[in-house]
Amino acid sequence: MKNRFGAALPLMLAALLVAGCSGGESVPKDQNTAEAEEQGHGESGEIALTPQQIRAAGIELVRAMRGGGGALTLPATIEGDPQRMQVVSAAIGGRVVALTRNLGQSIGRGQTLAVIESREAASLNAGIEAARARLELAESNLRREQRLFDQQVSPEQDLIAARTAAAEARIALRLAQQQAAAAGGRVGALNRVGIASPLPGQVIARSVTLGQTVAADAELFRVADLSHVAVTLALSPADAGKVRPGSAIEIVAGDRRSAARVSFVSPILDEATRLATVIAVIDNRSGQWRVGEPVTASIRLADSGTGAVLVPQSAVQTVEGRSTVFVRTAHGFRANPVTLGAPSGDNIVVASGLTGDEQLAGANSFTLKAELGKGEAEHGH
């Protein structure tokens, strides 16, 4: 670690100056020598480092976490959020004459995905047109009867009958339009019906081709809003009892990470596996997660009430046979012995020795262990 820790070098130079004086006489320390010793390992377990030296050594700073109930780390798979995914089908059979979207393309709510041509669509179209014509005739008759009644030419009962006929015609038109909507979309010209998307999102599956004849209720597309995805975990009853809605969960795959919160903990065990289902929803507006992708999920368990603290395992070193972490101070780091508990994935429980408010050396903390050993050896001489 040549020239990495600048504090040790002035100390060694000061020691050489003292040893080089004639006859080993005691030589008063000058101001520079005193400052060098103060910046080195003045107190046991203290390592003086500037922020620049910390960065040069590649030492990562991490935070201890209170409430160290531990964490469960297990494999999982990214899934679509069930509330944001829907199968698109047509309630009538026919021949597909138009497709407007391919796999992966975006679609808005109510926009047409496909157009189906069939005799049933022609019947629906005819029903709407006939109902609209009857409504126009009924409203025209109502206006005439209202005018005659105002002129005291027609009796009131004729006006009431005209109003009733117009109301029935409006109902018949709405019924015809609803029947068309139940077919899966908007009725088009002649014998065609458009199949509309029920939600905004992306087309994630398409099981139909142009010109294909499809049966009623056959699946045509699957549309999903992937701005949020889900991860489902299966936990033992004991572990599930430590998880609450809102519990923190971290999703990791390679160098990608996302934080999420548990949204659902099933109160019922699966009959086959005897495990409880836990679901967390992940914000995926950046599009970094794909449905079906394998990931590793680390779920934080509820605090057991022991006052333990959770730290990354990379922050723990063994110094003189004791588990030790290096706590960040105003001038560098301080070696702090701790008592460890059970490991939890990439973290480990610290049963005593930390309050949970400390900032620690994480990755590359072994360089501090080496520097501490070097400083103690120099003081021993």
pLDDT tens column, 102-116 = 888 889 998 889 988
pLDDT of residue 170: 94
pLDDT of residue 35: 40
- Please, are residues 338 and 316 in contact by the beta-carbon 8 Å criterion? yes
Q: Which class is 40-68+306-380 in CATH?
A: mainly beta
Query: CA-to-CA distance for 297 and 283, rounded, in angstroms?
Result: 15
pLDDT tens column, 298-318 = 887 655 555 567 888 889 999
CA dihedral defined by 46, 49, 50, 52, rounded to 10 degrees? -150
- Please, are residues 14 and 37 in contact by the beta-carbon 8 Å criterion? yes
Domain boundaries, the chain: 40-68+306-380, 71-81+226-300, 86-224
pLDDT of residue 70: 59
Query: CA-to-CA distance for 302 and 318, rounded, in angstroms?
Result: 28
pLDDT of residue 185: 54
Low-confidence ranges of the chain (pLDDT < 50): 1-42
Query: CA-to-CA distance for 95 and 300, rounded, in angstroms?
Result: 52
pLDDT of residue 7: 44
Adjacency order of strands within the sheet including 106-107: 85-89, 219-224, 201-206, 106-107
CA atoms in the 13 A half-sphere facing the CB of 210 = 6
Closest CA to 88 of 101, 77, 79: 101
pLDDT of residue 116: 87
Radius of gyration of the CA atoms of the chain, in A: 37
- Please, are residues 225 and 291 in contact by the beta-carbon 8 Å criterion? no
Q: Which class is 86-224 in CATH?
A: mainly beta
Closest CA to 268 of 316, 310, 235, 220: 235
CATH for 71-81+226-300 (1.10.443.10, 1.20.120.1200, 2.40.30.170, 1.10.150.120): 2.40.30.170
Q: Tell me whether the CATH fold assigned to 40-68+306-380 matches the one assigned to 86-224.
A: no
pLDDT of residue 68: 53
Positive/negative CA dihedral, 231, 235, 239, 242: positive
pLDDT of residue 375: 58
pLDDT of residue 134: 94
